[in-house]
Structure formats: structure tokens, C-alpha cells
Amino acid sequence: MEFKESLQFYMKKNGMKQADLCRLTSIPSSLMSWYVTGKKTPSLKNAILIAKALNVSLELMISRTEKSRKRALELTSHEEKIIKKYRSLDERGQKTVDLTIETQSALTKSEEKESGKPKKGKRHD
């Protein structure tokens, strides 16, 4: 896979728009657009900034194998336990969890916007 495909993949995985990535990396939108469309490949400096903003390693950003990308999507044992607990809830409980997640996500995005830095949770294994 090319860099543009990795970029598109991880932007989608992180629910990030091009404007978000530009804000977090200070890369001009016109240049980011070229990266996203594959018209240009970023410099090492910009590739590192992009990888950090997307919370992935540079190695994964430039990886050419689908297997590497799938590995990035694997759930930790903690995440699997959370999903099992969520599925055991009744509809009311699931709606409560959904609302809590949406509220916390909006709060985190607001804080990121103010600070200009992404806040990602720790992965629990």
C-alpha cells in the first residue's frame, strides 16, 4: 500500500478529517490534500508529524502489508471484556453507555481543539 492509502485508513480509523489533521500537525491544507490524494509523498518530518497525530507508529504508516494494518485493529483483552459487558446490558443500559461515550468524546475533542494536541487513551492489555 502507498502512503496515501495508509493515511486514508488511519484517518478513518481515528474518525479524523483532513482539517483536524492539518490543525494537529500545522501542515497546510493544500499540502495535506496532496498527501491524501497521493500527488505527493510527505517528507520524513511531515510523515512523523502525521503518524504522531494519528497515534500510530511511522512503521505502520509506511507498511505495505495488509497484515500490519489488521494487527493495528486487533482488540486488547480489556477492550474485548468491555464489549462483552456492553452486549450483556439491556437496551436502556446500552443507551446510557452510548450517551456517556458520546459525552466524553465531545469533551475530549473540545480539549484537543483548545490544546491542539490529540488525547488518546492508554491501551490496556
Of the pLDDT bands very low, low, confident and very high (cuts 50, 70, 90), residue 68 is: low
Q: What is the pLDDT of residues 92-124, one digit of tens each?
A: 999 999 999 999 988 888 887 777 766 555 544
Amino acid at 53: A
Angstrom distances, CA of residue 68 to CA of 2, 14, 57, 100, 107: 13, 17, 11, 32, 31
Of the pLDDT bands very low, low, confident and very high (cuts 50, 70, 90), residue 42 is: very high
Contact, 27 vs 67, CB < 8 A? no
pTM above 0.75, yes or no: no
Least confident of 17-21, 60-64, 116-120: 116-120
Angstrom distances, CA of residue 90 to CA of 21, 87, 95: 37, 8, 9
Q: Look at residue 65 and tell me whether its pLDDT is greater than 60.
A: no
